[in-house]
Structure 1
Amino acid sequence: MLRLPDEYRDRFKKPIGRLFPELVDALPLLAGRTVYTVGDVVTHNLLAAGGSTEIAVIDGYTMRAPCAKTPLCAHRRVQVKNPAGTLTEELVRALEDAVEHPPVLIIVDGEEDLAVIPLARLAPEGSVILYGQPGEGLVACIVTEDLKTLANDLYSQFVPV
């Protein structure tokens, strides 16, 4: 298991893609792209708007409170453990498998927030990752070589425990 040291947490609070106040503002960016989502509300809102996601990573919570908008989708379901502030090998392996064999709903026992980092490392270029930015909206990350470099740099901040 990898843990994010406290001294690096602020670095992970800044969006690593383009911030949109509402999902509707991001929809044109999604056209013709493979979409991955991280977060219950983002996933729910995308599906409610008629969109689709190849991989959805959820934990049943939003801002540490139970989420009433937990999405229901017909994807193959995989359950993993991932405590807050960590990236478990189980989560990373599930993401690897999901990228290779979509569609998949990954249900995290713990916290899914940091799944964006390994997903950005694994997702094919040209795809897009959507995740929530608490109190601000959602972030859309188009997977590029630059995003993969940033994700690798952020991933290197984690330490084994």
Structure 2
Amino acid sequence: MLRLPEEHRKRFKEPFGELFPELEDALPTIEGKTVYTVGDVVTHNFLAAGGTPAVAVIDGYTMRSPYGKTPLLLFRRVQVKNPAGALTEELREALEEAVLDPPTLVQVEGEEDLAVIPLALIVPDGSVILYGQPGEGVVVCRVTPDLKNAAKDLLSLFVPASD
């Protein structure tokens, strides 16, 4: 398991892509793309807007409060554990398998926020990852070689957990 040290957490507060105030504002820019979603609200809103994510990663919470709109998707479901501020091998392996066998819902026990980083490294160039920026809107990550390099840089800030 990898942990994000406290001193690097501020780097993850900045949007890792283009920020839109509402999902509806972003939809025209992602039309025709394969979309991956991270977060309960973004996943719910994308489905409500008629989209179908290739992979949806949720944890049943939004801003640390239970989110009662867990999607009833007819997707293959995978359950994994991933504590806050960490990336488990279990989560990373589940994401790899999900990307290879869409559509898949990855249900995280713990926290899913950091899943954007490993997801950016494994999804194909040209696809899009959507995730929520609390209190600000939705972030659209257009997957390019540059985004993958940025994800590698962020992943390098993690350290092996000493559990």
Query: Shorter-chain-normalised TM-score: which range?
Result: over 0.9
Measured in 1, the distance between the counterparts of 2:110 and 2:51 equals 26
**Unaligned stretches of 5+ in structure 1?**
none
* Residue 132 of structure 2: aligned partner: 132
Deviation at 1:71, TM superposition (A): 1.8
Pairing 1:24-103 to 2, within 5 Å after superposition? 24-103=24-103
How far 1:68 sits from its partner (Å)?
2.0
CA distance in 2, matches of 1:52, 1:114: 21
In structure 2, distance between residues paired with 1:5 and 1:150: 18
Between the two proteins, the alignment pairs up a number of residues equal to 161
- Match status 1:112 vs 2:117: no
Of 122-131 and 66-75, the range deviating more from structure 2: 66-75
Superimposed CA distance per residue, residues 50-86 of structure 1 (whole angstroms, 9 cap, x where no aligned partner) = 1110000000000000002222211100000000000
Structure 1 Cα separation of the partners of residues 30 and 73 of structure 2: 19
Question: Sequence identity of aligned pairs in percent?
Answer: 71
Q: Give me the whole-angstrom Cα distance separating, in 1, the residues matched to 2:130 and 2:72.
A: 17
Task: Say whether residues 1:159 and 2:155 are aligned partners.
Answer: no
Query: Quick one: which amino acid aligns to residue 132 of structure 1?
Result: G
TM-score under structure 1 length normalisation: 0.99
Aligned residue in 2 for 1:7: 7
- Match of 2:72, SS state, is coil
Q: 1:12-23 counterparts in 2 under 5 A?
A: 12-23=12-23
- Secondary structure at the residue paired with 1:16? coil
Report the Cα offset of residue 42 of structure 1. 0.2
Deviation at 1:100, TM superposition (A): 1.0
Matching residue's letter, 2:41 = V
Q: Which residue of 1 aligns with 2:148?
A: 148
Question: Structure 1 runs of 4+ off > 3 angstroms?
Answer: none
Letter of the 1:24 counterpart: E
